[in-house]
């Protein structure tokens, strides 16, 4: 429960501390006294966006601080958010808003983000009335109300869990397919073609450079053959050739070696020169044969050159790069060939996840279908006692084409406030006062199952009176038995049954406006109820005393 709230420099509030009671708390005061400012303070604690215009004129900033008890229920959540839990279960929520710069928010002294504060607010408080925080018109809220009433928490969690598994399976399959497709979108057929194309070419490192050189030389084939013949004549076949001369040199060196053993090295070098010249002659002959090719051989070389150059351009700019790509393609080919089995496995996992989600959604939908008429009937009974004598509420389940994270159907609350009118979606017809009373009816039905501990109703009694006001009062008091309830009201019948009654007043001192809050009891409470009844005369006082007497809790008899 919210034990106390402290406010400083918020609009017309300079400084205020409010100690709330258990059960049903009523807040009253004249129009414009500042009750809405207190609601704004609550909204700030709930993580709503701050309007710097709320800061009191002349102040550098405002502070709102709330102290809650029973926070041990949120201990695991607090630890998850890095907030130290108080051993006695106290939770202090603090919000600071400056005129300039970003605001700050704290839980038990630990700085937190606004989203964390908002999440805490969603866990702690439901605020209902003519304010943006109301949620009854949200399809998610209507669906959640039906599920809570039917006790379908387990079934809802099964659908959500199955949905997450389905999404994970879809993601894994899609990621695998993208990975197997590669950045260029290659398929197994394309990889097969690329491997076959490169393997059949039987490329050799450096082959492109050799072919380019040979092709260039073949253009001068006739002259090269003539030069080769001249080289051969000078080396070994001419009348005066190098090998003949070296033969004579060898003869002289042999005789020299017999006379001087040291000349053997000279003879060996001459023999090496002879071998080198003979090799030169053979190489020249072979090269001339290569260059001096016929037309058929020339065409073959050009065809090979075109093939090699084409593959070089297609696969990386060199024969070496193309050979490297071939190895990559072979590895990719092996992956893709094995991928068929892996993809089949992933598809099977997805089908299982889809089936699980579909079955869980069908089970949840069946239970929702059984619960909807009962929920509608119970809420309608509550509405009859809240002034909608001949109204009815219906719960319509609309099947979705594809089940989602919340199941296979939408839930729509349909409301017919008057006889003879067909029910229409609640969001399209309900005024703020009607909406607040419908929410009160729903909250009454859900009271035993609603886990949100604090309920705030802002002018839930708008445009009602007489017996309806008494019915609203009875239901608020009933909710106060299982929740901490705060109601901003203008109805004396509602304020009279509250467990604690607070009054807001506004004064002007030295040209400044101040809002004050006090708990009213005894004669002061009777006086405030008289004001709400229209005056402070004897009749109003008598009626106020009567309301207070009727509002007292029934005494248990001893037996």
**pLDDT score at 558:** 41
Q: Looking at the predicted structure, is the pLDDT value of residue 448 above 70?
A: no
- pLDDT (tens digit per residue) in 74-124: 788 888 888 887 878 888 999 988 887 678 888 888 888 888 888 888 888
Give the mean pLDDT of 177-181.
Answer: 75
In DSSP terms, 450 is beta-bridged to: none
> CA nearest 492: which of 457, 537, 527?
527
- pLDDT (tens digit per residue) in 37-47: 888 888 888 88
CA angle 465, 469, 475 (to 5 degrees): 165
Tokens at 434, concatenated: 């009607």
**pLDDT score at 556:** 42
Q: Looking at the predicted structure, is the pLDDT value of residue 293 above 70?
A: no
Higher pLDDT, 238 or 83: 83
> CA nearest 115: which of 49, 43, 40?
49
The DSSP result for 176-198, as a single string, is HHHHHHTTTT--HHHHHHHHHHH
Percent of the chain, pLDDT > 90? 21
**pLDDT score at 150:** 92
Provide the pairing of β-strand 13-19 with 2-10. Answer: antiparallel
* Cα–Cα dist 509/313, whole Å: 90
Give the mean pLDDT of 126-155.
Answer: 78
Give the mean pLDDT of 372-386.
Answer: 90
- Most confident region among 70-84, 232-246, 358-372 by mean pLDDT: 358-372
* Cα–Cα dist 537/444, whole Å: 36
Higher pLDDT, 206 or 351: 351
**pLDDT score at 211:** 77
* Cα–Cα dist 117/414, whole Å: 33
Non-local CB neighbours of 111 within 8 Å, separated by 6+ positions: 104, 105
**pLDDT score at 386:** 81
- Confidence at 218, pLDDT banded by 50, 70, 90: low
H or E stretch covering 509: strand 500-509
Q: For residue 202, what are the CA distances in angstroms to 113, 188, 190, 311, 316?
A: 65, 22, 19, 11, 16
Long-range (24+ apart) CB contacts under 8 A made by 345-348 are 346/169, 346/172, 346/173, 346/176, 347/173
Average per-residue pLDDT in the chain? Answer: 83
**pLDDT score at 554:** 52
Q: Looking at the predicted structure, is the pLDDT value of residue 300 above 80?
A: no
* Cα–Cα dist 118/373, whole Å: 34
Non-local CB neighbours of 515 within 8 Å, separated by 6+ positions: 11, 12, 13, 16, 33, 34, 37, 504, 505, 506
Give the mean pLDDT of 472-492.
Answer: 87
**pLDDT score at 369:** 95
Contact 49, 42 (CB under 8 A): no
Contact 447, 474 (CB under 8 A): no
**pLDDT score at 290:** 66
> CA nearest 152: which of 2, 374, 336, 439?
374
**pLDDT score at 353:** 96
Q: Is 419 helix (H, G, I), strand (E, B) or coil?
A: coil
Non-local CB neighbours of 275 within 8 Å, separated by 6+ positions: none
**pLDDT score at 223:** 65
**pLDDT score at 169:** 95
Q: Is 521 exposed, middle or buried (0-12, 13-18, 19+ CB in 10 A)?
A: exposed
**pLDDT score at 508:** 82
Q: Looking at the predicted structure, is the pLDDT value of residue 159 above 90?
A: yes
Q: What strands, in cross-sheet order, belong to the sheet with 392-404?
A: 392-404, 407-416, 424-425
Percent of the chain, pLDDT > 70? 88
Considering only 196-200, 205-209, 289-293, 364-368, which range has the smallest mean pLDDT?
A: 289-293
* Cα–Cα dist 20/467, whole Å: 28
* Cα–Cα dist 261/358, whole Å: 104
């Amino acid at each position: 429960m919210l034990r106390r709230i402290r406010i400083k420099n918020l609009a017309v509030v300079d400084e205020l501390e409010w100690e709330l009671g258990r059960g049903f708390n009523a807040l009253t005061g004249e129009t414009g006294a500042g009750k809405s400012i207190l609601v704004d303070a609550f909204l700030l604690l709930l993580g709503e966006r701050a309007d710097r215009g709320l800061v009191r004129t002349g102040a550098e900033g405002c502070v709102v601080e709330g102290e809650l008890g029973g926070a041990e229920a949120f201990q695991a959540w607090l630890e998850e958010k890095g907030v130290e839990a108080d051993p006695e279960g106290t939770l202090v929520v603090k919000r600071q808003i400056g005129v300039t710069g970003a605001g700050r928010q704290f839980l038990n002294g630990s700085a937190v983000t606004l989203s964390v504060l908002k999440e805490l607010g969603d866990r702690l408080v439901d605020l209902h009335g003519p304010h943006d925080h109301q949620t009854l018109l949200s399809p998610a809220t209507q669906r959640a109300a039906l599920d809570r009433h039917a006790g379908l928490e387990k079934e809802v969690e099964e659908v959500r869990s199955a949905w997450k598994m389905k999404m994970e399976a879809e993601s894994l399959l899609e990621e695998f397919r993208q990975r197997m497709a590669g950045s260029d979108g290659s398929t197994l057929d394309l990889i097969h073609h690329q491997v076959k194309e490169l393997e059949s070419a039987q490329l050799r490192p450096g082959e492109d450079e050799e072919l380019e050189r040979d092709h260039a030389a073949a253009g001068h084939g006739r002259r090269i053959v003539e030069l080769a013949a001249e080289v051969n004549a000078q080396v070994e076949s001419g009348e005066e050739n190098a090998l003949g001369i070296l033969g004579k040199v060898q003869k002289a060196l042999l005789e020299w070696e017999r006379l001087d053993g040291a000349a053997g090295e000279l003879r060996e070098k001459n023999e090496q020169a002879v071998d080198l010249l003979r090799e030169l002659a053979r190489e020249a002959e072979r090269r001339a044969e290569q260059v001096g090719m016929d037309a058929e051989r020339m065409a073959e070389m050009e065809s090979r050159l075109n093939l090699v150059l084409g593959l070089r351009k297609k696969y990386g700019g060199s024969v070496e790069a193309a050979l490297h790509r071939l190895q990559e393609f072979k590895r990719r080919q092996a992956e893709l060939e094995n991928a068929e089995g892996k993809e089949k496995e992933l598809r099977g996992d997805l089908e299982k996840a889809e089936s699980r989600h579909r079955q869980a959604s069908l089970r949840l939908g069946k239970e929702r279908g059984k619960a909807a008429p009962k929920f509608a009937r119970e809420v309608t009974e509550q509405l009859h006692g809240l002034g909608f004598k001949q109204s009815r509420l219906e719960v319509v389940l609309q099947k979705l084409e594809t089940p989602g994270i919340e199941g296979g159907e939408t839930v729509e609350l349909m409301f017919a406030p008057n006889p003879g009118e067909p029910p229409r979606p609640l969001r399209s017809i309900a005024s703020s006062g009607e909406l607040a009373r419908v929410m009160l009816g729903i909250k009454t039905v859900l009271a035993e199952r609603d886990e949100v501990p604090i309920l705030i109703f802002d002018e839930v009694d708008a445009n009602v009176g007489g017996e309806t006001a008494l019915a609203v009062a009875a239901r608020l008091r009933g909710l106060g038995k299982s929740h901490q309830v705060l109601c901003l009201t203008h109805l004396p019948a509602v304020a009279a049954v509250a467990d604690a009654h607070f009054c807001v007043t506004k004064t002007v001192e030295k040209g400044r406006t101040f809002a004050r809050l006090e708990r009213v009891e005894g004669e002061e409470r009777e006086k405030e109820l008289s004001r709400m009844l229209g005056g402070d005369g004897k009749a109003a006082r008598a009626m106020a005393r009567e309301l207070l007497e009727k509002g007292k809790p029934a005494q248990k008899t001893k037996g």
